[in-house]
Structure 1
Amino acid sequence: MSVRILALVGSLRAGSHNRQLAEAAVKHAPAGADVVLFEGLADIPFYNEDIDVEGTVPAAAAKLREAARAADAFLFFSPEYNGTIPAVLKNAIDWLSRPYGAGAFDGKPVAVVGTAFGQYGGVWAQDEARKAVGIAGGKVIEDLKLSIPSSVVRFAETHPADDAEIVTQLTEVVTGLHGHANAAAAA
């Protein structure tokens, strides 16, 4: 079965290594897995229940919800900002968690990966993202992890899509997420 995996990147920077990592996931997705990189997180206003009213939801947030509802699984790419999850990724989780009881995650499989400058590859932020998306209704797959340290050095001259070790590890994550999405659909 073909599985649609929505990729959300927690960095807005044009040269983001996490965005490059997401591009590598799109490029090297195994057969049957369609990794779709969501564009537009920067356009979504901060979550505010006053503007989350049926019929008047901001267009950018509605676009995110539509993409999420069409997804079978989610793959988050999180850098680490001051030891935690970037605001843009947390904001996306907040929008997708609503309306209460009917959020877009709805038990769908979620994996969180990423890269950061530090020696641990952003594990604190990735753990925070797993916590938030799990509370928001996603089924976090705890054994699908990839934290790549020293991103500035590692990817200074090589795009993650051209790094054989990274491609292998990332493909394992996407393959695992694909398997969990198929199992969820069969249940």
Structure 2
Amino acid sequence: MTDTQKTRVAVLVGSLRADSVNRKLAELLRDEAATDVVLDIVEGLDRLPFYNEDIDGENAPAAAVAVRERVALADRVLAVTPEYNGTLPAVLNNAIDWLSRPYGAGAISGKPFAVIGTTPTPYGGKWAHEDAARSAGIAGAKVVADATVSHPAGEGDVLVDRDARAKLHDAIAKLVAFAPETTAA
């Protein structure tokens, strides 16, 4: 099977920390992806300036153009993120802002979107995942609600726990299988 026949999933990692468990999780899921799926970790979120309509348009920053192009090439979008202070990290929110423009036609528009991740909190990032899904939905993505997995670190190491990884792989399978409803014209 060639890469053009595979479902491409753009992966947005919400943590910039070099030793981030969520980055390791994204890499592990990429390496264990089904043979008909390519998980493409989108690099460069750390180089995106804060979204500002004054610098967007024909001369948008190169980092924004590169991230938009990577996501535009994907069939699906997956956010893998921790939770910071009860919400999504600024880097992920900023990426969604860039991907939402131009409004109604941004790189994320119409794409199935899911959120997974882990945090050391008892809730596993639930609020961040809800906020990321809400923001992506407003930006035009088709949120796959039953593909959200918020894994509390207290329930085991997500990188080695078989049950936790099975839930995450199931979430990716649901994202890949999701068929957005189309409206007849």
TM-score by length of 1: 0.90
Question: Which structure 2 residue ranges, 5 or more long, are not aligned?
Answer: none
> How far is the alpha carbon of 1:186 from its aligned partner?
9.9
Residue aligning to 2:74:
71
Residue 108 in structure 1 maps to residue 106 in structure 2: no
Residue aligning to 2:14:
10
Residue 122 in structure 1 maps to residue 125 in structure 2: yes
> How far is the alpha carbon of 1:185 from its aligned partner?
11
- Aligned residue runs from structure 1 range 147-166, under 5 A: 147-150=150-153, 154-155=156-157, 160=159, 162-166=160-164
Question: Residues 73-113 of structure 1: CA distance to partner in whole angstroms, max 9, x if unpaired?
Answer: 00101211100110000000000000122111121100101
Residue aligning to 1:29:
33
Correspondent of 1:41 among 41, 45, 48: 45
Question: Residues 20-72 of structure 1: CA distance to partner in whole angstroms, max 9, x if unpaired?
Answer: 11112101111211111111110111000010021x11111100000011010
Measured in 2, the distance between the counterparts of 1:61 and 1:94 equals 10
What SS does structure 2 have at the residue aligned with 1:126? helix
Number of matched residues? 179
Q: Comparing both chains, which one has the higher relative contact order based on Cα–Cα distances under 8 Å and sequence gaps of 6 or more?
A: 1
Question: Which structure 1 residue ranges, 5 or more long, are not aligned?
Answer: none
CA contact (8 A) 1:33 1:174 kept: no
Residue aligning to 2:144:
141
| Root mean square deviation of aligned Cα | 1.9
Correspondent of 1:175 among 154, 173, 176: 173
Measured in 2, the distance between the counterparts of 1:85 and 1:105 equals 17
CA contact (8 A) 2:103 2:139 kept: no
Residue 52 in structure 1 maps to residue 56 in structure 2: yes
Measured in 1, the distance between the counterparts of 2:34 and 2:57 equals 39
Measured in 1, the distance between the counterparts of 2:7 and 2:74 equals 8
Measured in 2, the distance between the counterparts of 1:172 and 1:91 equals 28
CA contact (8 A) 2:146 2:174 kept: no
Measured in 1, the distance between the counterparts of 2:147 and 2:113 equals 9
> How far is the alpha carbon of 1:184 from its aligned partner?
4.8
Runs of 4+ in 1 over 6 A off after TM superposition: none
Q: 1:186 to 1:131 in 2, by over 3 A?
A: closer
What percent identity do the matched residue pairs reach?
A: 48
CA contact (8 A) 2:108 2:140 kept: yes
